[in-house]
Structure 1
Amino acid sequence: MLNFDELSQFNRNGYTVLDSIIPNDVLEDIQRAARQMSETEPLRSSWNERSCFRREAFCRLLDAPELIELAVQLIGEDVQLLQFDMLRTRSGDAEPEWHRDVEFAAGKTLAVSIAIYLQDTPARAGPLRLVPGSHRQDDGPPRSLGDLEGGIAVPVPAGAAVVHDAALWHAGTIDGPSVDCWALFPIFGKFWIKRRDLGCTQPPPARILGLTDPLKRQLLGFALRPGVQSYLGDPDQYNRRGDPGLDFAQHS
């Protein structure tokens, strides 16, 4: 959980850094799973939640209290795990472009990305780069490689996390030794935000379909917990009388 000063800094700059966000035994299990996946699929560079949640090591993240409590604090009781990826980068890979993880910006945080690194990321070995305050920009970043004005690098030790508003401008770094650099990227958001990419046409792994814990089922998008409310859409009658509302501009 972030204290008042940390939360204020997050709202102002769009990011914060936590030295540890998952238990050491969970981190070690995931590191082992990542090595096994690398050996099984040596040419692959990314795995999504459909792949990761087939392994118990990644399912244990749903039991990591600091991670889940942080997501609830930043998003609200109606939090959902919108996306979960594991990425591997190596020296010689194409340099990532600047981007934001959601295509909208708002006056409050509606989605948050958490980059959890499985190894140390010193200044020249794969740290995340970001532009503080850019989560409040209406436009996304220019399609650019290299550094942007105002951008900073955020090196962290293994197990640490860079937590940022999903609208914050950011990019990875490919500038280090010829070793694999691994990171997990869970993205949490409001329950009413839903993805529309083709990956969601694949059913979740059987391992998680049978989960009964209400919080885990909510995180995976199955159903809200009892007593938790979220925006579920306007009724058909909304604005039929011409009342000003969120779905159209009021004209004088």
Structure 2
Amino acid sequence: MHTSCLQYSLTDEERRIFDETGYLIIEDALSAEQVKELTEQVDLISERKKNEGQDPNKAMFYTDFIKDHQLFMDLVDYHKILPKVWGVLGWNIYMYHTHMIVTPPSGQEKSDKTFGWHQDSGRVNMEIESHPRPRLSLKVAYFLSDLSEPGRGNFWIVPNSHLTDHMPLSETGTGQPEGAIPVVVKPGTAVFFDRRLWHAASTNWSDVTRKVLFYGYGYRWIRRKDDMTMDGLLEKSDPIRRQMLGDGLSCNGYYTPTEEDVPLKVWMREQGLTV
């Protein structure tokens, strides 16, 4: 990491917003050129998946995409974003989950059907014994398409719901939870959200194809959520990126890390940051 990344550290105001609402919007996280180049690569993957049998009328959910291009790899420890991630979670972290979603126009008429509201992490929410549930991880969503208007397959959230273990939903299957809103953002925006934030995908009723990249970060003792292809990636990565990709010296090092396991901790201390 270059020390210039510290200008993007999590501010006190950003921390307050994230802690209170469960999400944080960072506009212009990606430049117009980055959006253009990333979109080109997403389109190539989307076309390839269609040739492999992906239904062009259905959303494409594709994991393990960082191996497909250096542009995706460079977001693993992106200098404008990773300092905010460690600002929330600390230094014993790695990237445990990625997925790319491309949502084409549905061709459906707009309806008020209840979306699939959920918190992330599956069985964790049933088996862990605490209230409220622990944060454990967060995701960063990079939006490549123009979602500045609702109805474009927007990601929906219930702000301030991350400390709520249960979300009341309509028994009729229509309508959204009280306080639910669509996230409306322009291309290049990054949205952080706590895994506990109640959220849902929505139908794309527009003529704009929605394209989003999700990077999930959690503590190093959390298992991966995807089968990630690491062939050759670790060998060409610097120590902090290797940590973000899940590298470590031993199994115990994920629970009780030595400094060799967590070069991010060493680097942060060298910069005079609290560790």
Per-residue CA deviation, residues 78-97 of structure 1 (Å, 9 max, x unaligned), is 12111010001123289851
- CA distance in 1: counterparts of 2:232 and 2:34, whole angstroms: 18
Instruction: Kindly indicate whether the alpha-carbon contact (under 8 Å) linking 1:127 and 1:153 is maintained by their aligned counterparts in 2.
Output: yes
Structure 1 gap ranges (5+): 234-252
Determine whether 1:39 maps to 2:47.
yes
Instruction: Kindly indicate whether the alpha-carbon contact (under 8 Å) linking 1:54 and 1:207 is maintained by their aligned counterparts in 2.
Output: no
Determine whether 1:138 maps to 2:162.
no
What's the C-alpha RMSD, in Å, of the aligned pairs?
A: 2.7
Structure 1 residue ranges, 4+ long, deviating more than 6 angstroms after superposition: none
Alpha-carbon spacing, 1:123–1:56, altered in 2? closer, same or farther (3 Å): same
Q: Which residue of 2 aligns with 1:55?
A: 69
| SS of corresponding position for 2:217 | strand
Deviation at 1:53, TM superposition (A): 1.7
1:194 counterpart (199, 218, 223): 223
Q: Which residue of 1 aligns with 2:264?
A: none
Deviation at 1:24, TM superposition (A): 4.0
State the AA in 1 paired with 2:222.
I
Deviation at 1:4, TM superposition (A): 1.3
Q: Which residue of 2 aligns with 1:170?
A: 199
Determine whether 1:99 maps to 2:140.
no
| SS of corresponding position for 2:162 | helix
- CA distance in 2: counterparts of 1:3 and 1:32, whole angstroms: 33
Q: Which residue of 1 aligns with 2:190?
A: 161
Deviation at 1:126, TM superposition (A): 2.3
State the AA in 1 paired with 2:219.
K
Alpha-carbon spacing, 1:73–1:24, altered in 2? closer, same or farther (3 Å): farther
1:111 counterpart (109, 115, 137): 137
- CA distance in 1: counterparts of 2:254 and 2:167, whole angstroms: 27
Q: Which residue of 2 aligns with 1:87?
A: 101
Alpha-carbon spacing, 1:145–1:63, altered in 2? closer, same or farther (3 Å): farther
- CA distance in 2: counterparts of 1:38 and 1:186, whole angstroms: 18
Alpha-carbon spacing, 1:124–1:28, altered in 2? closer, same or farther (3 Å): same
Q: Which residue of 1 aligns with 2:255?
A: 231
State the AA in 2 paired with 1:109.
R
State the AA in 1 paired with 2:161.
S
Q: Which residue of 2 aligns with 1:243?
A: none
| SS of corresponding position for 1:208 | coil
Instruction: Kindly indicate whether the alpha-carbon contact (under 8 Å) linking 2:89 and 2:218 is maintained by their aligned counterparts in 1.
Output: yes
- CA distance in 2: counterparts of 1:61 and 1:5, whole angstroms: 24
1:16 counterpart (24, 28, 31): 24
Per-residue CA deviation, residues 68-118 of structure 1 (Å, 9 max, x unaligned), is 111111111112111010001123289851111224475763211112111
Instruction: Kindly indicate whether the alpha-carbon contact (under 8 Å) linking 1:22 and 1:61 is maintained by their aligned counterparts in 2.
Output: no
- CA distance in 2: counterparts of 1:54 and 1:69, whole angstroms: 24
1:221 counterpart (242, 246, 250): 246
| SS of corresponding position for 1:8 | helix
2:236 counterpart (180, 187, 211): 211
- CA distance in 1: counterparts of 2:86 and 2:213, whole angstroms: 19
Instruction: Kindly indicate whether the alpha-carbon contact (under 8 Å) linking 1:90 and 1:174 is maintained by their aligned counterparts in 2.
Output: no
1:152 counterpart (169, 176, 181): 181
- CA distance in 1: counterparts of 2:85 and 2:174, whole angstroms: 30
Determine whether 1:127 maps to 2:127.
no
- CA distance in 1: counterparts of 2:159 and 2:222, whole angstroms: 24
| SS of corresponding position for 1:36 | helix
Quick one: percent identity of the two aligned structures? 25
